[in-house]
Chain A
Amino acid sequence: MENVVITGRGLISSLGNTPELMFKNLQEGACAFRSEPEWRKYNGLETFVSAPAYPYDAHALSRNVRRSMSAMSEMAYLATLDALNDAQLTIGRDESSTQTNFHRPNHLRVGLVMGSTSGSPIYLEAYFKKMFEMGGPKGQMSTSFFKVMNHSVATNVALALGYSGPLISPSSACSTSSQAAILAMQLIRAGVWDVAVVGGADELHFTSVAVFDTVKASSKNYNDCPQDIPGPFSLNRDGLVVSEGAGILVLESEKHALARKAKIYGQLLGGSYFCDGIHMSQPQAEQMALTMSEALKDANISPDAIGYVNAHATATSIGDEQEVQAISSVFAGRKVPVSSLKGHLGHSLAACGTIEIIAILEMMKNKTLIGNRNVTEVSPDFSGVDILTQNKSKDIPYVLSNNFAFGGMNTSLIIKNQI
């Protein structure tokens, strides 16, 4: 079975568009939350905070490519370009690149796996608004559908790169990109692919926030002072803040990476994705624990090897509680360090899994765990684990990373430091 390593990283996040800048901001305890006064006009919405993406510019793309893209495809494309540059790989048709030392793999041995929660929410609104106003499709642009179809992100990235080859577009909301990474890991291990470009992207829109608002999972008590929103695991936490962005990784068989002398950032040692089949929105500790245990088994390591757990924790009442319960049961009494980055970055939905892996790789490189932001008092129920309330210097050879999503979608990954 092939080992799977990470050789490229690209991202658009709310706290920076390079791994180094995002990490610097995380280390300094920065927070991307801001008020959204414009959202006050939406009937029934009570959450008026967001964590928008750090500024980016997609105008270098030709109009013919950009015309079918919404913001999430633009972000995914830019992140993919950065990830491929980082890996010094090209998977597109264009061989006229002036950059040197680019390796060109056999297209049949490469896969592209990326997705989003849904098609573009911005254009879904515009598409159906016009459809209802006009009483039918009159006046629709030819490219409207290409922005709202579910595989819009993946196909737009492929088109912009000139990539032809296997493409899969997973969509499981907040576990989309972690699921993409695990699926690609399995295919590389099995020898089907040498290289996979994986990840997820989502764009900010009030309807994405409304989903969490409706199920009482979003923060609504700090609309005028979003920087004060309590962090994950806080006793007084009041819900999540929706963000946007893209996180893209280049995964590669270790053999392939070593053969071309690629820089290796870490190893994707194991992973599991399990649907709980129990409840659409209520997290289930037992099932989360099962997912983590399966990931550890898949990585062939014991929980004792794990030096840090990067939690999914979004600062919801039940979600954080169930996740801690699950971690406590897996680590059987050992107080493993736990933190979530969602108090800094917000929740970038389909992008969060791979953005968090990039942050984990930076933590490993810098031997620094990022503590939860803005936690003045940890919920007393969480005494079974070590909830980090500040950064901590630590060498971490192995990390467990969780991402969970509506529909009972649970994912866990094991990352090994290889620097």
Chain B
Amino acid sequence: MQRSEIVNQINATLAENFELKIDQLKPDSNLFTDLKLDSLDAIDMLVHLEEKMGKKLDVEKLKEARTLNDIYNIVEDVLK
């Protein structure tokens, strides 16, 4: 899967499940301060992304993620 497609799919998933607007979703958006997500949302994001991508994601890496770009990278690594 191309990086742009991964980005689109992740953005669509986040927009749908966390009531975010697509144009809010920039690679350098901070998950917590810009997008106002918290630890519970992070758990749900993991569930939604694993379901969407059909792959198990690395929880330890996700715990370290701070920006959307970190999420794109984690998912891209798994899909490689």
CB atoms of B51 and A143 under 8 A apart: no
Count, A-B residue pairs, CB within 8 A: 17
- Residue of chain B at shortest CB distance from A143: B40
CB atoms of B47 and A63 under 8 A apart: no
Question: Could you tell me which residues of chain B, from 35 to 79, have a CB within 8 Å of some CB in chain A?
Answer: 36, 38, 40-41, 43-44, 47, 51
Confirm or deny: A140 has a beta carbon within 8 angstroms of a beta carbon on chain B: yes
- SS class of chain B's interface: helix, strand, loop or mixed? helix
Contact with A along B24-44 (1 / 0, CB 8 A): 000000000000101011011
Size band of the interface chain B makes with A: 10 to 19
Distance (whole angstroms) from the CB of A152 to the closest CB of chain B: 15
- Residue of chain B at shortest CB distance from A62: B36
- Residue of chain A at shortest CB distance from B46: A142
State A230–B44 Cα separation when bound (angstroms): 48
Q: Which of A63, A139, A140 has the most CB of B within 10 A?
A: A63
Q: Decide: A139 near B43, CB < 8 A? Known: A63-B18, A63-B19, A64-B36.
A: no
Q: 6 tightest CB-CB pairs across the interface, nearest first?
A: A142-B43, A142-B40, A63-B19, A141-B44, A142-B44, A139-B47
State A142–B38 Cα separation when bound (angstroms): 11
State A141–B38 Cα separation when bound (angstroms): 14
State A67–B18 Cα separation when bound (angstroms): 9
Q: Decide: A139 near B51, CB < 8 A? Known: A64-B36, A64-B38, A67-B40.
A: yes
Distance (whole angstroms) from the CB of B63 to the closest CB of chain A: 14
Extra contacts, 5 of them, besides A63-B19, A67-B40 (Cβ < 8 A), are A64-B38, A139-B51, A141-B47, A142-B43, A143-B44
Distance (whole angstroms) from the CB of A149 to the closest CB of chain B: 14
State A64–B18 Cα separation when bound (angstroms): 9
- SS class of chain A's interface: helix, strand, loop or mixed? loop
A interface residue numbers (CB < 8 A to B): 63-64, 67, 139-143
Could you jot down 13 A-B contacts, CB within 8 Å?
A: A63-B18, A64-B36, A64-B38, A67-B40, A139-B51, A140-B47, A141-B43, A141-B44, A141-B47, A142-B41, A142-B44, A143-B40, A143-B44
- Residue of chain A at shortest CB distance from B20: A63
- Residue of chain A at shortest CB distance from B45: A142
Distance (whole angstroms) from the CB of A109 to the closest CB of chain B: 32
State A64–B36 Cα separation when bound (angstroms): 9
State A142–B18 Cα separation when bound (angstroms): 13
State A141–B44 Cα separation when bound (angstroms): 5
- Residue of chain A at shortest CB distance from B50: A139
State A298–B13 Cα separation when bound (angstroms): 58
- Residue of chain B at shortest CB distance from A139: B47
Residues of A within 8 A of B18 (CB): 63
State A140–B47 Cα separation when bound (angstroms): 8
Residues of A within 8 A of B40 (CB): 67, 142-143
Distance (whole angstroms) from the CB of B30 to the closest CB of chain A: 16
Distance (whole angstroms) from the CB of A160 to the closest CB of chain B: 15
